Structure 1
Amino acid sequence: MRIARYALAGAEPQFGLVELATDGGEHPETIAAITGDPLAGPVNYTGERHSLDEVRLLAPVIPRSKVIGVGRNYAAHAAEMGNEVPENPLLFIKPNTSVIGPDDPIVRPRGVTNLHHEGEIAVVIGRICKQVPADRVQEVVFGYTVANDVSARDWQESDGQWTRAKGSDTFCPLGPWIVTHLSLEEAGALQITTEVASQRTPEDREVRQDDSTKLMVRPVAELVSAISEFTTLLPGDVILTGTPAGVGAMEPGQRVSITIDQIGELSNPVVDEE
């Protein structure tokens, strides 16, 4: 399934199930409304169905608790930043106020001059869990979505830690929906592509990142297990699994698009803080 969170003009946000043309079903490029929050309990169809063109897609999950990022989980990215792969997972937290959805603007804060994109596959947790063995991680994963771990490199360098550099408002785009049908093995063999284009010529995209999740130093099962050793994970928590090589600067007036095979595309414009 693809579970999206969306809004119609003048209506409250709600969840729905997305059907794409590639599925070969009866309702291509539509979203079927469901009741409630799929992360909180059973849901039912309402009978409403809308074209994807009619709705505004929102961040598919607003974490009730936390977003946990993983640094240097691809060897080539660690090397391009002048670092070694750490002996243990390098973890940080992004506040839920950093989360935005598809097409929402990434805002470059005043004073930041070196804002970078980091395309990543994100894990959405579906159950309260603690100290999960790696061989049982599939039981606690609700699904996967696309993420951009936006990073202010100048703040990262000057602050000596990453809270402000990675946790500012709008620094965690997620979307376009949550895919629930992927196994751990499938999630560990997907292509991630990040492209940057001018808003004036969106068709002229520069490919920045193009690598496979096969290259993760620590796969999803190992990451979730390690993180759950020290903190309780809650339904709706999001784990960003690290970014492959090719990170680079984003400038106001550009649009950053991240595509992950079998999940979808997350695209956001970049603007300056007013």
Structure 2
Amino acid sequence: MRRRLESFERTRSRLSTLIPLYEEIHRRSADSGAVEVVKTRGRVMLLIQDAAARCTEEALTVQPGGARPAGHLERALPRDLEMLGRGVRLRTLYQHTARYSPGTQEYVREVSAAGGEVRTLSELFGKMLVFDRSTAFLPVWDNPDAAVVLREPSAVAFLRSVFATAWGLAEPFSASYTAATTTQLRDAIAGQLVEGAKDEVIARKLGMSLRTCRRHIAELMEELGADSRFQAGYLLGLRAQDTQRLGPGRGPDAGPGIGHEEGGA
């Protein structure tokens, strides 16, 4: 578990070093008109459809938050199948919790049969669509109907590098939890407990229901022998320190332990 957390932290650290570059790119792009804020849902959907219709090589999508609404999947499926039919490489990232959604499972079956690629990760960095290394769509955090449209090549290249890092850590989608995905979810919850995050925050970040999140926390506490969330976070923090001091595989949690068991979410 510690090794997995350390891997996530190294990835997060590498991505954070790119933030100043992205901010500079964003400033220059805004000055040149390469950044557009579209404030209405209808206009956003038209621009996405147009970008998809023009796409000839590659489409990348990131969809955090667990199960996607049925209406979103119904709109996306014909567009995505049409792109795949033209030879476009389509790659999609979901969170692990999307594996329990029947609608998402059916969508993944259809796009996979047509050549699409889908993977999942415990945590994602936000919604994103990128078409042909030329146009990207990002959310506007205080307006769910709006989107930021980026057309500046360096900014789009930055977003592709973020996607590539997450894609390399993700697991291929299947309609169940594997030992690897269960491990990642449990490790992500453990990391949030160490940071002192509230149940509601953890559930939102990992795209799961509050009830499921609390069940996982209760199981972690039982395995640790902790009487409270505070004590669980403290014990997990001690294990992380021991692993750093003794080296991977030599701390008190060496070998099969928390996060290494199979099970559902």
More strand by share: 1
**TM-score, normalisation: structure 1:** 0.25
Question: Which has the greater radius of gyration?
Answer: 2
More helix by share: 2
